[in-house]
Structure formats: structure tokens, C-alpha cells
Amino acid sequence: MLIRTIYVSRASSPMPLELKEILAVSRKNNPLLGIGGAMCFLDGVYLQFLEGEAVAVDALYQKIEKDPRHTDVKMLVHEPITQREYPKWSMALLTWNEETKAIFKMFNPGLENDAYAADPASVAALMRAWAGTNNWMTL
């Protein structure tokens, strides 16, 4: 069964040097595990979208929960899907600019780009809106 998981967490450091390492390892391992995803990082907060087979995604999420680079891990969405939304992304990284911040505010009025407080009810739609921009580094 395919699932989508979206979570937020706080980085253990405000501008982690590990971000490049997380991306490199994800881009190497995720295709082997059948997992795709996207990551956003802003002001010390990760917002990450994962999709794939439930067993693989759930195992990865449990690993993330124990990873010392993440604190306050909070699941926003965990739901079955019929098909992948981003089948070609092993792990994309959103680059923040005025456009992506404006989109965030449309879905989360009054949050001042606080990704940790993103609305679980609209976070999947937020990701789709962001995916329509050119602000992704993909692999």
C-alpha cells in the first residue's frame, strides 16, 4: 500500500551543516527503498514530504524520530494514496524566496513562515502549490 507522510521537526542547530548530508544520503538511499520526497528548510524547521510503500515510509519516519539532527518531530499527515505525486523526486529541496513564502502565507495566514505550525489540513495542498514553482532542487 502506498502512503504519504508529511512531518515537521526542528533542527538541532539553526543552520545545520548536516543539510547537505541529509540530502545526499536521501538521494542515494530513497530510490533503493522506493521512497520519494521533498524537503523544505526555513528558520531551523524541516517540513518533509515522503511517499512510498507503507512499510518503507513508516520505517524511515521512525528512524527520523530517533535522529539527533531532528527534535520535536510532529506528524502532520499520514494517509494512503493511490499514486505518487512526485514519482521522479528522490528528495527535492525547496529554496525559499518571496514567491514560496507568499504561497505558505496563503495556506497558513498569520504564521509568518513558521513551517512548524503549518496546518495539517492543508499541508498537502501547500506542497502541491509549491511544486508548481521553479524553486526546487531535484534529483
Rounded CA-CA distance 116/104 in Å is 12
User: Span 114-123, mean pLDDT?
Assistant: 92
Q: For residue range 38-48, what is the model confidence (pLDDT) as tens digits?
A: 988 888 888 99
Nearest to 113 by CA among 44, 17, 12: 44
Nearest to 63 by CA among 13, 24, 116, 26: 26
Rounded CA-CA distance 135/93 in Å is 8
**CATH architecture of the domain covering 2-137:** 2-Layer Sandwich (3.30)
Kindly report the length of the chain: 139
pLDDT at residue number 93: 87
Instruction: Please identify which residue in the block is written with the cell numbers 531551523.
Output: 44
Question: Which of 71-75, 91-95, 102-106, 123-127 has the weakest average pLDDT?
Answer: 91-95
Phi, psi for residue 13 in degrees, rounded to 5? -135, 150
pLDDT at 32 over 80: yes
Grid coordinates of 26: 536521501
pLDDT at residue number 16: 61
pLDDT at 24 over 90: no
> How far is CA 70 from each of CA 12, 101, 122, rounded to the nearest angstrom?
6, 23, 23
Rounded CA-CA distance 20/51 in Å is 21
Domain ranges of the chain: 2-137
Higher pLDDT, 128 or 18: 128
Grid coordinates of 14: 539553526
Q: Which residues pair with 45 in a beta bridge?
A: 10, 42
For the whole model, what pTM was predicted?
A: 0.90
